[in-house]
Structure 1
Amino acid sequence: MTASKRIVLSSDHGAIELRQAIAAHVTSRGWLAVDIGPTTSESTNYPEHGAAAARLVASGDCQLGIVLCGTGQGIMMAANKVKGIRCGVCADTFSARMLREHNDANMLSLGARVVGQGLALDIVDAFLAAEFEGGRHALRVDMISALEA
């Protein structure tokens, strides 16, 4: 993995600390972390942060994205409204791996109030290490993409 692999990270105010830990972690794994904030604990709106990160992935500026909020659910929903995004919330490594292998996900969502830092980093590693299997899964991903049309 080279530094040319870009991954965007964003969160709401409730997940700043975990997002920053993940940014440092992915950087240590050879990724260029594009951390788009926020940086203060002032209340923010997760839909704005999820959409902003998703737009960077959809445009191709970043290959993957990781978004966080309290549960990971709301920010994931916002990210998935951007055409071309397949984002799933995970609280375990098996789901993170399957998200990439079977669903060709380009974004991962985490709940800062659901998973601790150690588990979150393991989930991120599983997500980043997995690759889309294609085959029968490609048809299903195409079916998901067709829903956007």
Structure 2
Amino acid sequence: MTALPIAIGGDHAGLPLKSVLQQALAEAGHGLIDFGTHSTESVDYPDFAHAVAAEVEAGRARFGVLVCGTGIGVQIAANRHPGIRAAVLHGATEARLTRAHNDANVACFGARLIGPEVALDALRVFLATEFEGGRHARRLDKLSPSHQG
């Protein structure tokens, strides 16, 4: 069985880091669905965040990777989708904990705030870490739309 691809996208500010992450993912053998952008022309980050989030939410991608200037804008946009748990990552510890405890499925990076080596390390850890379940699953259930009043 072939593993599901990783959906990736970002705005103009995120393009340089997105390119580095994309190349590393391809070299590691991951299938990719690239939603752009492919230019430094100013674009709107929600367009890319929604496309990546929709792909993950629909089950056509295992994980999403989003990059903008701070990571915050794409995180907010992606988290508007009920099946998405997007987190801004600044390092490997956050990457490990957000996967292990929060079952995050979209990694967000701020190209203006993190260097490529740190981002690559965080992404590798994010992809390699399994969700622990247990007490964390109970907490995630409380985030579902059916649990909210």
Structure 2 residues without counterparts, runs of 5 or longer = none
Q: Match of 1:121?
A: 120
Deviation at 1:146, TM superposition (A): 3.5
Q: For the Cα contact (< 8 Å) 1:15–1:68, is it kept in 2? A: yes
Q: Match of 1:96?
A: 95
Q: Match of 2:38?
A: 39
Deviation at 1:24, TM superposition (A): 1.3
SS across alignment from 1:66: strand
SS across alignment from 1:13: coil
Q: For the Cα contact (< 8 Å) 2:56–2:62, is it kept in 1? A: yes
Question: Stretches of 4+ moved more than 3 A in 1?
Answer: 146-149
Q: How does 1:15-30 map to 2 (within 5 A)?
A: 15-30=14-29
CA-atom RMSD in angstroms: 1.5
In structure 2, the CA distance between the partners of 1:147 and 1:75, relative to structure 1 (3 Å rule), is: farther
Give deviations 1:46-103, integer Å, cap 9, x for gaps.
1111111100000001010010100000110000001200000010110011110000
Deviation at 1:43, TM superposition (A): 0.4
Q: For the Cα contact (< 8 Å) 1:3–1:30, is it kept in 2? A: no
Deviation at 1:3, TM superposition (A): 5.6
Q: Match of 2:58?
A: 59
TM superposition score normalised by structure 1: 0.94
Deviation at 1:30, TM superposition (A): 2.4
Deviation at 1:29, TM superposition (A): 2.0
Deviation at 1:148, TM superposition (A): 7.6
Q: For the Cα contact (< 8 Å) 1:83–1:148, is it kept in 2? A: no
TM superposition score normalised by structure 2: 0.94
Residue type matched to 2:110 in 1? G
Q: For the Cα contact (< 8 Å) 1:3–1:32, is it kept in 2? A: no
State how far apart, in whole Å, the 2-side matches of 1:19 and 1:56 are.
Answer: 17
Instruction: Note if 1:134 corresponds to 2:136.
Output: no
